[in-house]
Amino acid sequence: MSHLVTEGALAALFGVDRRTATRWVSAGLPVLRRRGRVVEFDLSAAITWVRGRDKADADARLAAALARSDPDASRARKLALEGDLLQMKKDRETGESISRAEAEADLKSVALTVRDNLLNVPARAVQAGVVEPAKEAALDRIIRDALTAIAEREEKEREEKNET
């Protein structure tokens, strides 16, 4: 579902003159439809295009427009939030964004794979002739101690986070 904005609303959103928005169209800003002299844009696509064109400048203009306290700025804040929401939905639909639960599950899977591989290092080192069989247990203890220290640090950080 597209959220349509006019050239004037887009200009207000970024705190620029309407003629600037007209120049953006000439420079390639995607137009969703034209109705006579009225040009309409998909809000999410327009924000993406303007930010992509000159991210630092666009973000600064957007921030300045959002900081004002006049009615146009209130509308700009509303449009910016709607644009951000549309962008998040689009990113989710296209797979560019994943949920926190998915990210945590992926991270846990990677961590378990790394842990398993680290625990196999002593035996593999002996097989490769890099470590003497008599020193395999010592190497195993060093790796297990390191993994325990990592787990304890993560637990401490989790507890500190829960306290705040």
For position 8, what pLDDT does the model report?
Answer: 87
Give the per-residue pLDDT at 85.
80
Is the pTM here over 0.75, yes or no? no
pLDDT band at residue 2, thresholds of 50, 70 and 90? Answer: low
Encoded tokens for 156: 């401490």
Please give the Cα distance from 11 to 115 (Å, whole number). Answer: 53
pLDDT: which is higher, 4 or 143: 143
Sheet holding 38-42, edge to edge: 4-6, 38-42, 33-35
**Tokens linked to 141:** 């203890």
Q: What pLDDT sits at residue 76?
A: 72
CB 78 within 8 A of CB 5: no
Please check whether residue 50 is in contact with residue 14, taking contact to mean a CB–CB distance below 8 angstroms.
yes
The amino acid sitting at 70 is D
